[in-house]
């Protein structure tokens, strides 16, 4: 069966790889020509995402490219420790979450998809498409047209495919926060710990990678969407130093050496329609969760969609089954994502409420989040195994 995947980020190559396992003839179209290694900051993968990667056969490569993170610690503006819990896993789980460069994850997934027989075409931006009873014709900005029996929209939070499936689908908007990420070389910071300080300006996060290196991210509240174009590294470092004068961020920001990424954070209302008969959304196109779980959800989506399609008599039935299986878990996570984003917006009252709330909630953290990490990923057949009916 011919399948077009739009988007070569995280969800796109993951779904291409999963669909190769069930015999699809897959081509991924990615809008940008930029090498994946050069795009994006560092981020975290939770144990559920790692277990899903294991089913895709990529776990070892991803672990080798990343750094294990044992704990996460939350601090008040004044530097008081509010809580210390296991990072993105249950306390008793022997597996450790990891942090890695987003570009490394994209490269590993693309290489695995190519090795499994998928094609990846870069520099092709989808701009439109038409669906009939037995397939889809995709239209690209270059004038290229391609047809397939299934089109998967893995085109991220600003998804074009979302609008093709449902013209009244919600669109992403500025979340009232922007972020900047960089690297620092501060001495004496414990490696393997993710730290978050709630501050006057927003939230400051840093992770010790080794004895002398930290990856940091500042999330800054600003109700008016700022223009971030043309800000150079020196200007960013000055701005972060001014906005985060508190002792804890300063220990890292004062030793910051470079900026790796910056951008606006987005929100999007819940996407109620994930599929038509021949098109389906995965990853941020379907559910921008935005709380450090987005990449793990992409990998889970890939497995779940492939399994739903392989077990269904027709493509439309497979897409329906994927939606029904996936929706309850995603709805629960989206609710939590909203709360987490709200907690990073500044304001004195909110900061005080957050500190008080974190102290009360952290002892129950595992009970609230455990469902995320308990996920049991389904297994895929060996490549070329079961087939999806093309009807
Ligand atoms: C500041 C920040 C921090 C985050 N931290 C974490 C974290 O710690 N852990 C975590 O798991 N998640 C994190 N996330 C979320 C995570 O980055 C996303 O959930 C994940 O990248 C979604 O992957 P995706 O493949 O769905 O979309 P994307 O990664 O956005 O990829 C979409 C791809 O589609 C391409 N594309 C778009 N439109 C078209 C088109 N029309 N035609 C062709 N190609 C197109 C794009 O160029 C892009 O390559 C964070 C997000 C942000 C903003």
Which of 214, 237, 267 terminates a domain? The answer is 267
CB distance 8 to ligand 1 below 6 Å: yes
- My answer on whether 131 and 23 are in the same domain is yes
Residue 319 inside a domain? The answer is: yes
- My answer on whether 149 and 200 are in the same domain is no
CB distance 160 to ligand 1 below 6 Å: yes
- My answer on whether 36 and 162 are in the same domain is yes
Residue 140 CA: which ligand 1 atom is closest?
42
d(CA 305, CA 69): 29
Within 8 A by CB and 6+ apart from 159, the residues are: 153, 281, 284, 285
- My answer on whether 227 and 331 are in the same domain is no
Mutate to test the pocket of ligand 1, among 295, 302, 333, 369 (most ligand atoms within 8 A of CB): 295
Structure confidence at residue 353 (pLDDT): 61
Question: Which secondary-structure segment (H or E) carries 257?
Answer: strand 256-267
- My answer on whether 273 and 352 are in the same domain is yes
- My answer on whether 115 and 133 are in the same domain is yes
Question: 10: domain CATH number?
Answer: 3.50.50.60
d(CA 3, CA 220): 40
- My answer on whether 234 and 91 are in the same domain is no
Token duo for residue 386: 């079961």
Structure confidence at residue 278 (pLDDT): 98
- My answer on whether 141 and 89 are in the same domain is yes
Of all protein residues, the one whose alpha carbon is nearest to atom 35 of ligand 1 is 7
d(CA 266, CA 79): 28
The parent domain of residue 186 ranges over 174-267
Which of 232, 267, 302 terminates a domain? The answer is 267
Residue 237 inside a domain? The answer is: yes
Residue 37 inside a domain? The answer is: yes
Q: Is-contact 227 220, C-beta < 8 A?
A: no
Which of 217, 240, 267 terminates a domain? The answer is 267
Residue 388 inside a domain? The answer is: no
- My answer on whether 366 and 276 are in the same domain is yes
- My answer on whether 217 and 328 are in the same domain is no
Count of other CB atoms within 10 angstroms of residue 287: 27
pLDDT digits (tens), the chain, 391 positions: 999 999 999 999 999 999 999 999 999 999 999 777 666 789 999 999 999 999 999 999 999 999 999 999 999 989 999 999 999 999 999 999 999 999 999 999 999 999 999 999 999 999 999 999 999 999 999 999 999 999 999 999 999 999 999 999 999 999 999 999 999 999 999 999 999 999 999 999 999 999 999 999 999 999 999 999 999 999 999 999 999 999 999 999 999 999 999 999 999 999 999 999 999 999 999 998 866 899 999 999 999 999 999 999 999 999 999 999 999 999 999 887 655 555 555 555 566 566 666 666 676 677 788 999 999 999 998 876 666 677 7
Residue 381 inside a domain? The answer is: no
Residue 157 CA: which ligand 1 atom is closest?
30
Residue 179 CA: which ligand 1 atom is closest?
1
Using a 10 angstrom Cβ sphere, with 0-12 exposed, 13-18 middle and 19 or more buried, the burial of residue 109 is buried
CB distance 125 to ligand 1 below 6 Å: yes
- My answer on whether 89 and 160 are in the same domain is yes
CB distance 126 to ligand 1 below 6 Å: yes
Question: Which secondary-structure segment (H or E) carries 94?
Answer: none
Per DSSP, helices labelled H in the chain are 11-21, 47-55, 59-65, 102-115, 161-165, 233-243, 247-253, 294-310, 315-344, 348-361, 365-373
Number of domains composing the chain: 2
CB distance 156 to ligand 1 below 6 Å: yes
| Residues facing 43 on adjacent strands | 100
CB distance 337 to ligand 1 below 6 Å: no
Residue 384 inside a domain? The answer is: no
Count of other CB atoms within 10 angstroms of residue 177: 21
pTM of the predicted model over 0.85: yes
CB distance 300 to ligand 1 below 6 Å: no
Structure confidence at residue 344 (pLDDT): 52
Residue 243 inside a domain? The answer is: yes
Quote the ligand 1 centre to 93 CA distance (angstroms): 27
Residue 261 CA: which ligand 1 atom is closest?
1
Residue 379 inside a domain? The answer is: no
Quote the ligand 1 centre to 15 CA distance (angstroms): 14
Mutate to test the pocket of ligand 1, among 5, 113, 294 (most ligand atoms within 8 A of CB): 294
- My answer on whether 300 and 348 are in the same domain is yes
């Amino acid at each position: 069966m011919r399948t077009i995947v739009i988007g070569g980020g995280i969800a796109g190559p993951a779904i291409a790889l999963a669909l190769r396992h069930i015999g699809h003839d897959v081509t991924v179209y990615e809008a940008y020509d930029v090498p994946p290694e050069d795009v994006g900051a560092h981020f975290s993968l939770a144990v559920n995402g790692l277990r899903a990667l294991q089913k895709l056969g990529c776990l070892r490569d991803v672990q080798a490219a990343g750094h294990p993170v044992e704990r996460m610690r939350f601090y008040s503006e004044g530097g008081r420790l509010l809580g210390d819990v296991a990072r993105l896993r249950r306390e008793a789980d022997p597996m450790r979450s990891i942090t890695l460069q987003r570009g490394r994850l994209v490269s590993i997934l693309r290489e695995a998809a190519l090795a499994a027989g998928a094609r990846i075409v870069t520099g092709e931006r989808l701009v439109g498409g038409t669906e009939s009873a037995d397939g889809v014709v995709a239209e690209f900005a270059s004038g290229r047209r391609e047809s397939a029996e299934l089109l998967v929209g893995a085109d991220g939070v600003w998804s074009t495919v979302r609008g093709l499936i449902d013209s009244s689908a919600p669109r992403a908007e500025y979340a009232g926060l922007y972020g900047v990420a960089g690297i620092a070389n501060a001495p004496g910071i414990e490696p393997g710990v993710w730290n978050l300080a709630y501050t006057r300006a927003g939230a400051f996060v840093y992770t010790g990678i080794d004895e002398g290196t930290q990856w940091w991210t500042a999330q800054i509240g600003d109700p008016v969407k700022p223009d971030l174009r043309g800000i150079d590294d020196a200007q960013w470092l000055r701005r972060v130093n001014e906005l985060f004068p508190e002792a804890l961020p300063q220990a890292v920001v004062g030793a910051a050496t470079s900026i790796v990424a910056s951008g606006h954070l987005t929100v999007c209302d819940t996407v109620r329609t994930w599929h038509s008969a021949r098109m389906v959304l995965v990853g941020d196109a379907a559910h921008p969760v935005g709380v450090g779980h987005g990449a793990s959800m992409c990998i889970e989506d890939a497995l779940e969609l492939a399994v739903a399609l392989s077990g269904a008599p027709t493509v439309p039935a497979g897409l329906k089954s994927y939606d029904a299986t996936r929706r309850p878990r995603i709805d629960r996570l989206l609710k939590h994502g909203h709360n987490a984003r709200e907690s990073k917006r500044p304001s004195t009252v909110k900061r005080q409420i957050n500190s008080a709330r974190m102290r009360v909630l952290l002892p129950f953290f595992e009970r609230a989040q455990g469902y995320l990490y308990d996920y049991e990923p389904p297994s895929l057949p060996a490549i070329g195994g079961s087939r999806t009916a093309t009807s």
